[in-house]
Amino acid sequence: MPASRRSVLAAAGAALTSFDVAATGTNETIAELIKLSEESNATLLRGDIEKYRALISFTDDFTIMAPFGGKPTHRAELTDERMSAMGRFFRNGTLKQEVIAAYGSSDMVVLALIERAHVEVGGLPPQPWALRVTLVYRREGSGWRLAHRHADPLVGSITLEQAAALANPI
């Protein structure tokens, strides 16, 4: 990585982690968002889309990069019909969330997680389902809304050749 890009990323990371957490309650906010993330995603994996929607509020510019690949989905595409279909996609799931890292500032929290589920997905039999997940929450007014979710199933390592095959889908 070029030095200029590396220094920009280092500065961005320092800005997130050097914020005065004691004065702002950021640690409490991070803990609350970690708990909310686990509760809401466990609810989704049980197929309870209504409770999930009651727990999570998306920003207007929300994006999701689903673990199945493809183009990112934007908030405007998450219609009531699509959300209902998502609720039917997951059944009888349980979730344990492992926090890898959490970063916070006064207006943004980023969580790096591993979600370990046992769930029926898309009509498949119940099975373990582990995802690497990054969540970005943004403060809007007095509340926190989910601005971005990225998930992938690469919790276990793959070879360079396997990664190359995934990166070149033709």
DSSP strand E in the chain: where?
Answer: 58-65, 73-74, 90-104, 108-121, 127-140, 143-152
For the four alpha carbons of 34, 121, 163 and 159, in that order, the dihedral sign comes to positive
Q: What is the mean pLDDT of the chain?
A: 88
pLDDT digit string, tens, across residues 127-159: 999 999 999 999 999 899 999 999 999 999 999
Region 68-90: mean pLDDT is: 96
Residue 88, SS3 per DSSP:
helix
Q: What is the pLDDT of residue 25?
A: 66
pLDDT value of position 150: 98
Q: Which domains are delineated in the chain? A: 3-167 (3.10.450.50)
> What is the pLDDT confidence band of residue 10, given thresholds at 50, 70 and 90?
very low
> Which of 109, 96, 106 is closest to 137 using CA atoms?
109
pLDDT digits (tens, 9 = 90+) for 18-37: 333 333 468 999 999 999 99
Whole-model pTM above 0.75?
yes
Q: Write the single-letter amino acid at 145.
A: R
CB 131 within 8 A of CB 118: no
